[in-house]
């Protein structure tokens, strides 16, 4: 993530990119309900959960691309896009950990990174800086995790397809977690430099 401000090109709320981001946010509780249905005596709905997750990935790609192409970058969009990413990651972590598909140590590692990021955002706001922008490294981490989670969900079964899903799912999970923390550490370094610069200026 980068602590720099992208030029806002519109103050409109109802733009196509923002609507896509809002739809992703609406899909979060739907996805979590689908993934947890078997835990509460309901039918297995993993197929529908995978579909919702796949659609969220497509909309995640489209909202940023369309916002730049159509000059519809907005303050609301800058908040909605990363919020939707993090909520999908959080809901998937909760669902897969509850189902016993993800180990608790991996979930704790990813949640700890989110906690560190929240502290950094709080420090930034105290010093009057805008919310951070997601850079290529942060997006790459998110995409890896978004590939990992549906594959790990698909691995919950027996047969060669489930075995392949487990192999590729854990590979993406490893890459995604590493990149996630790498992006987080770089962000901490950037925030530290900003705070140090402010202190020297005073």
Which tens digit of pLDDT belongs to each residue from 7-23?
555 566 677 777 888 88
Mean local confidence (pLDDT), 45-74: 77
Q: Is the pTM of this model over 0.75?
A: no
Q: What is the CATH number of the domain that holds 71?
A: 1.20.120.1760
**What's the number of domains the chain is made of?**
1
Question: Does residue 36 form part of some domain?
Answer: yes
Query: Of 92, 2, 110, which is closest to residue 54 (Cα–Cα)?
Result: 92
Question: Does residue 4 form part of some domain?
Answer: no
The band of 130, judged by pLDDT with boundaries at 50, 70 and 90, is low
Question: Does residue 10 form part of some domain?
Answer: no
Contacts with 198 (C-beta within 8 Å, 6 or more apart), sequence order: 127
Question: Does residue 7 form part of some domain?
Answer: no
Question: Does residue 20 form part of some domain?
Answer: yes
Question: Does residue 6 form part of some domain?
Answer: no
> Which range of residues forms the domain containing residue 41?
16-201
Contacts with 129 (C-beta within 8 Å, 6 or more apart), sequence order: 3, 194
Instruction: Enumerate the H helices of the chain as residue ranges.
Output: 16-36, 46-69, 75-98, 104-126, 136-154, 160-201
Mean local confidence (pLDDT), 69-98: 78
What pLDDT was estimated at residue 172?
Answer: 94
Contacts with 172 (C-beta within 8 Å, 6 or more apart), sequence order: 144, 145, 147, 148, 151
Question: Does residue 9 form part of some domain?
Answer: no
Mean local confidence (pLDDT), 94-105: 90
pLDDT greater at residue 55 or residue 78: 55
């Amino acid at each position: 993530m980068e602590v720099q401000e992208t030029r806002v090109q519109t103050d409109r709320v109802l733009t196509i990119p923002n609507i896509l981001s809002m739809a992703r946010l609406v899909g979060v509780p739907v996805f979590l309900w689908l993934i947890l249905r078997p835990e509460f005596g309901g039918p297995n709905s993993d197929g529908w959960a995978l579909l919702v997750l796949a659609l969220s990935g497509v909309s995640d790609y489209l909202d940023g691309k369309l916002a730049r192409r159509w000059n519809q970058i907005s303050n609301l969009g800058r908040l909605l896009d990363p919020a939707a990413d993090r909520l999908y990651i959080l809901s998937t972590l909760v669902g897969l950990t509850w189902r016993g598909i993800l180990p608790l140590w991996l979930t704790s590692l990813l949640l700890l990174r989110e906690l560190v990021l929240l502290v950094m955002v709080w420090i930034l706001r105290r010093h009057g800086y805008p919310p951070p922008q997601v850079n290529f490294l942060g997006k790459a981490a998110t995409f890896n995790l978004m590939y990992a989670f549906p594959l790990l969900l698909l691995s919950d079964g027996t047969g060669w397809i489930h075995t392949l899903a487990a192999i590729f799912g854990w590979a993406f999970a490893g890459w995604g977690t590493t990149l996630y923390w790498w992006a987080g550490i770089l962000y901490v370094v950037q925030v530290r430099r900003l705070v140090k610069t402010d202190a020297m200026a005073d």
